Amino acid sequence: MNANQSSIHIYHVGSSFRNPVKFCDIHDIIFRYFTKFPWVTKDGKPIKVAKFRMLRTMASFRMYMQIRFMIPLQELRRVTNESYIDAKEFNFDPRCIDWEDYIMNAHIPGLEKHVIVKW
């Protein structure tokens, strides 16, 4: 929460060098979540989940991550440094993130509630 504007909440979730979350871990957590809390059909039957593959190779995944996230983060660091914005103002240390707890109890339930449209 911003100390100067108590009505504004800042949420930022991301992996880092200090506490990296691996893609295979995210995959396993998502699989376990939907195994534990399955979606059901209109008839009330649970939908079985299977493990999935998104990209064919780790090289293609790394390239995607570089283009999609690393380049914008480098730009953000540059702007932040030039603007004298101190990261300490956000009081955020990524080492404190329990990725499994976050994905299982916040991220996926939030997606289900606010993003994913069920039939």
Question: For the segment 8-35, what is each residue's pLDDT rounded down to a tens digit?
Answer: 555 556 666 777 887 778 888 989 999 9
Q: pTM score, two decimals?
A: 0.45
Confidence of residue 70 (pLDDT cuts 50, 70, 90): confident
Highest mean pLDDT: which range of 7-16, 51-60, 83-92, 107-116: 107-116
Buried-state track 10-34, b at ≥16 Cβ within 10 A, e below 16: eeeeebeeeeebeeeeeeebbeebb
Distance of CA 55 to the CA centre of its chain: 18
